[in-house]
């Protein structure tokens, strides 16, 4: 990621804003890679086309995110380092949740990256107006959730064993996803500050971030309910 020039007078970033931008950029890159890989393994042409379009859309916000980082005085290699730090955590999540078939692929992306997007949305209220607008645009609905529900629901309705297997897989994925969210919040004070659970200068604790993880868990249950699966 690189732009040609930084603004002459960067605006000082509030605590955590650069970390939030980096996490969102890392999430977009990870989502692009995941959706592109899902598209490559799709069993039919229509699914492959739809997932490829979703993947391409994840790249669109990156230039504006990076430009905003420059405006806040954290562009270039400094921002790249922040992005790759977050990307490494997401890569670890991917390594621990390798799907065995198409159905598990759908559930993994639907649940796992849904949790990361929910965490990113938790940061929005702590951002300045300009950065919040950019983040909101990056986190807009790409249609993947509706695609998964429409694709899976007919099969789940007629195959109880598939539903049981995917419910169990979903519990594994959500456990790993919540673990990533927890490590990000505990390891990056600025992110915890943006969620409002701690003040600037306070060290995040497991107790402090508990309400955030609780909300992420509730959103996960809502996603599973759309598929009529037990969370």
- What confidence score (pLDDT) does residue 5 get? 45
Domain 17-226 sits in CATH 1.20.1260.10: yes
pLDDT tens profile 2-38: 444 444 445 556 779 999 999 999 999 999 999 999 9
Mean of the per-residue pLDDT values for the chain? 91
pLDDT tens profile 172-191: 999 999 999 999 999 999 99
Contact status, residue 24 vs residue 69, Cβ threshold 8 Å: no
Q: Which of 40-54, 55-69, 70-84, 115-129 has the lowest mean pLDDT?
A: 70-84
pTM: 0.90
Give the phi and the psi of residue 101 in degrees, each rounded to 5. Answer: -155, 180
- What confidence score (pLDDT) does residue 158 get? 87
Largest Cα–Cα separation, the chain: 61
If one counts every other C-beta atom within 10 angstroms of the C-beta of residue 44, the result is 10
What residues contact 61, with CB distance under 8 A and at least 6 apart?
24, 28, 134, 137, 138
Taking residues 128-154, report their average pLDDT: 95
- What confidence score (pLDDT) does residue 1 get? 54
pLDDT tens profile 94-117: 999 999 999 999 999 999 999 999
What residues contact 228, with CB distance under 8 A and at least 6 apart?
153, 156, 157, 163
If one counts every other C-beta atom within 10 angstroms of the C-beta of residue 4, the result is 5
Two tokens at 29?
A: 């890159």
Question: Domain boundaries in the chain?
Answer: 17-226
Predicted confidence band of residue 142 (pLDDT cuts 50, 70, 90): very high
Taking residues 48-61, report their average pLDDT: 96
């Amino acid at each position: 990621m690189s732009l040609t020039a930084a603004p002459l007078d960067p605006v000082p970033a509030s605590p955590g804003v650069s970390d939030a931008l980096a996490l969102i950029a890392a999430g977009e890159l990870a989502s692009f890679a995941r959706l592109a890989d899902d598209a490559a393994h799709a069993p039919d042409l229509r699914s492959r086309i739809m997932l490829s379009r979703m993947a391409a859309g994840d790249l669109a916000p990156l230039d504006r995110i990076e430009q905003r980082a420059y405006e806040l005085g954290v562009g270039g290699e400094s921002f790249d380092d922040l992005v790759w730090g977050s990307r490494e955590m997401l890569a670890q999540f991917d390594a621990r949740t390798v799907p065995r078939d198409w159905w598990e692929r759908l559930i993994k992306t639907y649940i796992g990256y849904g949790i990361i997007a929910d965490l990113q949305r938790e940061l929005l209220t702590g951002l300045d107006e300009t950065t919040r607008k950019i983040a909101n645009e990056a986190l807009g609905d790409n249609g993947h959730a509706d695609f998964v529900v429409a694709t899976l629901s007919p099969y789940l309705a007629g195959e109880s064993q598939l539903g049981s297997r995917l419910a169990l897989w979903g519990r594994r994925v959500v456990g790993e996803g919540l673990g990533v969210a927890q490590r990000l919040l505990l390891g990056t004070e600025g992110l915890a500050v943006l969620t409002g659970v701690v003040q600037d200068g306070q060290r995040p604790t497991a107790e402090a971030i508990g309400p955030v993880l609780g909300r992420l868990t509730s959103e996960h249950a809502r996603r599973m309910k759309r598929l009529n699966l037990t969370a």
